[in-house]
């Protein structure tokens, strides 16, 4: 809770002003009975009309004062609440952006979304309310108790009888509330998850006509959410009735023993009336009080979920590291006895992999499905850290590079094209902010997509849907290649990213890429593509089983021969 609420700090002055304004309102409210007394004492009783007018005007003036204070308070407290929410949301998002890929595996996207929206809303609402109305209820309760004690401590003590019990009860309830509400938020995560999944798979759902099936899957998570929300809220609804019944019983006790005091002449009737009055005021504030406690428990549960993320120390990418690029080893890559397994698993995906690529060379990586090709590539921009061994880029261990510099040297084309909502220009220049349109076009031309884009009605301004839904597979792949090419990077990584291209387009693409002087790492299934490379790295179940030119492998590697044979054009 502390880490989350430290984000209020920059806004402590507006917050304090909001509170002061609230006190002004409270003051006006409390002053009113006093003024009415004045009207009666100075106006009506002595039959003084001007005094009534005078005090009446004072009262009106005070109402306007309270209105002014209230409205100003509204601005200040919403400023504090919204800015707090804004800062917190941004801090969370920043933190999430600094996660390593391994950390993302621990937090599903759906859960991160809930934390960034629903959880923030919970905390923000509590802050807003506490700046405006909430504090009043505790103040009324405490004030009434003090006043009652001042009037007649002996009688008022009965009112306090219930307090220890209520305190214990409230603490238990708050604890329970936190547990229950964090379950509720976790259920919301699941709802988000199924939603996200079904939307991503919408074509598959339609293809197999599984709308009903998905709906029943969703009903399950939605009903879990419903059941747990009901459970949490119902438990919390116990608070007010219990508070009320205990307080009212205390009131009756005070009344009973108070009347005995009055009878024995130790107290005035007036004292008893006053104490009872204060007790009633207290109970009047209880519904707000219970509401505060529920809101607090809920906010605490949400705050803890945010702190799960805010306080993560490990698992974030640290941006410190070497920034200078030495000229002599630009574009070289080397793997030294690299072993890798995904975090939280116990199978090595890569074992003891060693190879090196020198500047401007083209390395083709081949191997069966699941041999570890994509994994190997993901170690170069340091998406993951190796389990053992070292990866060198430009002659330096990737672990010692500043990540921005390291990734700035690499143009990466993933296996799945992953375009974003936005225009084609936005998507291509994603690789290089502020790129001129000519650069975008040049990159697109090199990626063999320029003429296709030109044929769209809106050309480069054509809007692309999420993940590029409105483009063909081959168009997506080529845009994704253009996005990498525009960077003119030292190293170009293509993870089987030409699979949806026809033979001619692909050949033209490779021709265009041959002009580039970058080091290229290319995962491919096609011997035709591999043959063109300087070296071919052959992987099998995470091990290097061949490394050499096409001819070398053709004569030396059984596996390579088998692959080549599988691609012989059948006559």
Partner 1 sequence: MKYLQNPFGYERILKKDDLGSGKKQKGARAADWKYTLKRIWQVVDEQRSLLVLVFMMVLVSSVLSLTGPFLVGRIIDHYVVPGEYDGMINLILVLIVVYCILSISLFLQNYWMIGIAQATIYRMRTGVFAKLMHLPVTYFDKRQHGELMSRATNDIETLSSTLNSAFIQVVSSVLTLTGTVLVMLYLSPLLTVLTMIIIPLMFMAMRWITRRTGRLFKEQQAAIGALNGMIEETISGQRIVKAFSQEQQVIEEFEEKSGRLRTVGFWALSYSGYIPKVMNALNNMSFAIVAGIGGLLALNGYVTIGTIVIFTEYARQFTRPLNDLANQFNTVLSAIAGAERVFAILDEPAEEDKGVRDIKLQGAVTFRQVYFKYNPEAEKDTLSDINFAIQPGQTVALVGPTGAGKTTIMQLLARFYDVRSGTVEFDGRNVQTIARETLRSQMAFVLQDPFLFEASVFDNIRYGKLDATDDEIIEAAKKANAHDFIMKLPEGYKTVLSADGGEISQGQKQLLSIARALVADPVVLLLDEATSSIDTVTEMKIQEALEVLMEGRTSFVIAHRLNTVRNADVVLVMQQGQLVESGMQEELIARGGIYASMLRAGKDIDALLDR
- Rounded to whole angstroms, the Cα distance separating 530 from 537 reads 9
Q: How far is the CB of 354 from partner 1 (least distance, A)?
A: 22
Question: What residues are paired with 362 via a beta bridge?
Answer: 520
Nearest CA to 494 out of 387, 395, 391, 362 is that of: 362
CA distances from 239 to 143, 167, 249, 301 (A): 21, 11, 16, 18
Q: How far is the CB of 522 from partner 1 (least distance, A)?
A: 14
- Rounded to whole angstroms, the Cα distance separating 84 from 7 reads 6
Nearest CB to partner 1, comparing residues 85 and 328 = 85
Nearest CA to 353 out of 312, 399, 389, 397 is that of: 389
Q: How far is the CB of 355 from partner 1 (least distance, A)?
A: 19
Nearest CB to partner 1, comparing residues 328 and 433 = 433
Nearest CB to partner 1, comparing residues 108 and 360 = 108
Nearest CA to 276 out of 291, 257, 298 is that of: 257
Q: How far is the CB of 6 from partner 1 (least distance, A)?
A: 19
Q: How far is the CB of 97 from partner 1 (least distance, A)?
A: 4
Q: How far is the CB of 314 from partner 1 (least distance, A)?
A: 17
Nearest CB to partner 1, comparing residues 29 and 461 = 29
> Each residue of 32-49: b (16+ CB within 10 Å) or e?
eeeeeebbeeebeeeeee
Nearest CB to partner 1, comparing residues 354 and 421 = 421
| 383, two tokens | 């998406």
- Rounded to whole angstroms, the Cα distance separating 136 from 281 reads 12
CB-based contact 189:110 (threshold 8 Å): yes
Collapsing DSSP states into helix, strand and coil, what is residue 40? helix
Crossing angle (nearest 10°) for helices 239-263 and 269-310: 160
CB-based contact 448:478 (threshold 8 Å): yes
Nearest CB to partner 1, comparing residues 354 and 466 = 466
Nearest CB to partner 1, comparing residues 328 and 339 = 339
- Rounded to whole angstroms, the Cα distance separating 294 from 5 reads 18
Q: How far is the CB of 308 from partner 1 (least distance, A)?
A: 16
Q: How far is the CB of 328 from partner 1 (least distance, A)?
A: 24
- Rounded to whole angstroms, the Cα distance separating 428 from 413 reads 12
Q: How far is the CB of 348 from partner 1 (least distance, A)?
A: 12
CB-based contact 492:519 (threshold 8 Å): yes
Nearest CB to partner 1, comparing residues 328 and 346 = 346
- Rounded to whole angstroms, the Cα distance separating 409 from 421 reads 26
Q: How far is the CB of 303 from partner 1 (least distance, A)?
A: 17
Nearest CB to partner 1, comparing residues 328 and 455 = 455
Nearest CB to partner 1, comparing residues 342 and 355 = 342
Crossing angle (nearest 10°) for helices 136-151 and 269-310: 150
Q: How far is the CB of 430 from partner 1 (least distance, A)?
A: 6
Crossing angle (nearest 10°) for helices 153-200 and 136-151: 170
| 226, two tokens | 């419903």
- Rounded to whole angstroms, the Cα distance separating 416 from 420 reads 12
Nearest CB to partner 1, comparing residues 314 and 569 = 569
């Amino acid at each position: 809770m502390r880490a989350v609420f430290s984000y209020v700090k920059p806004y402590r002055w507006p917050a304090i002003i909001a509170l002061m304004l609230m006190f002004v309102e409270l003051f006006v409210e409390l002053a009113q009975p006093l003024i009415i007394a004045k009207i009666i004492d100075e106006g009506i009783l002595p039959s003084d009309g001007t005094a009534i007018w005078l005090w009446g005007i004072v009262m009106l003036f005070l109402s306007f004062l309270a209105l002014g204070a209230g409205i100003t308070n509204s601005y200040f407290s919403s400023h504090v609440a919204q800015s707090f929410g804004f800062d917190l949301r941004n801090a969370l998002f920043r933190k999430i952006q600094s996660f390593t890929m391994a950390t993302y595996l621990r937090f599903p996207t759906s859960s991160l979304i809930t934390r960034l929206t629903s959880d923030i809303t919970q905390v923000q609402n509590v802050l807003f309310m506490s700046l405006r109305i909430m504090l009043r209820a505790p103040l009324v309760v405490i004030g009434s108790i003090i006043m009652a004690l001042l009037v007649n401590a002996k009688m008022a003590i009965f009112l306090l009888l219930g307090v220890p019990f209520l305190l214990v009860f409230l603490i238990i309830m708050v604890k329970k509330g936190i547990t229950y509400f964090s379950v509720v938020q976790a259920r919301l995560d699941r709802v988000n998850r199924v939603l996200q999944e079904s939307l991503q798979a919408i074509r598959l759902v339609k293809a197999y006509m599984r709308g009903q099936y998905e709906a029943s899957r969703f009903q399950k998570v939605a009903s879990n959410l419903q059941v747990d929300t009901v459970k949490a809220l119902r438990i919390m609804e116990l608070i007010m009735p219990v508070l009320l019944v205990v307080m009212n019983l205390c009131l009756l006790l005070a009344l009973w023993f108070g009347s005995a005091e009055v009878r024995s002449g130790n107290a005035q009737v007036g004292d008893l009336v006053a104490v009872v009055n204060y007790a009633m005021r207290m109970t009047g504030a209880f519904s707000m009080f219970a509401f505060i406690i529920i809101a607090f428990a809920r906010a605490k549960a949400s705050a803890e979920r945010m702190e799960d993320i805010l306080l993560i120390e490990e698992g974030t990418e640290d941006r410190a590291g070497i920034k200078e690029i030495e000229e002599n080893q630009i574009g070289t890559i080397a793997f030294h006895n690299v072993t890798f397994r995904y975090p939280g698993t116990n199978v090595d995906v890569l074992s003891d992999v060693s190879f090196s690529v020198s500047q401007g060379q083209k390395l083709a990586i081949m191997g069966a499905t699941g041999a570890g090709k994509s994994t190997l590539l993901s170690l170069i921009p340091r998406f993951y850290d190796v389990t053992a061994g070292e990866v060198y880029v430009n002659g330096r261990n990737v672990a010692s590079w500043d990540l921005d510099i390291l990734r700035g040297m690499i143009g990466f084309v993933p296996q799945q094209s992953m375009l974003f909502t936005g225009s084609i220009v936005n998507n291509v220049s994603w690789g290089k902010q502020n790129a001129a349109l000519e650069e975008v076009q040049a990159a697109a031309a090199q990626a063999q997509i320029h003429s296709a884009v030109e044929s769209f009605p809106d050309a480069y301004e054509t809007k692309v849907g999420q993940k590029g839904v409105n483009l063909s597979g081959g168009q997506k792949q080529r845009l994704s290649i253009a996005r990498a090419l525009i960077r003119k990077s030292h190293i170009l990584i293509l993870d089987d990213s030409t699979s949806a291209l026809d033979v001619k387009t692909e050949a033209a693409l490779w021709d265009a890429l041959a002009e580039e002087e970058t080091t290229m790492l290319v995962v491919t299934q096609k011997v035709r593509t591999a043959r063109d490379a300087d070296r071919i790295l052959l992987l099998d179940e995470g091990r290097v089983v061949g490394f050499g030119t096409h001819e070398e492998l053709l004569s030396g590697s059984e596996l390579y021969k088998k692959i080549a044979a599988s691609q012989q054009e059948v006559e």
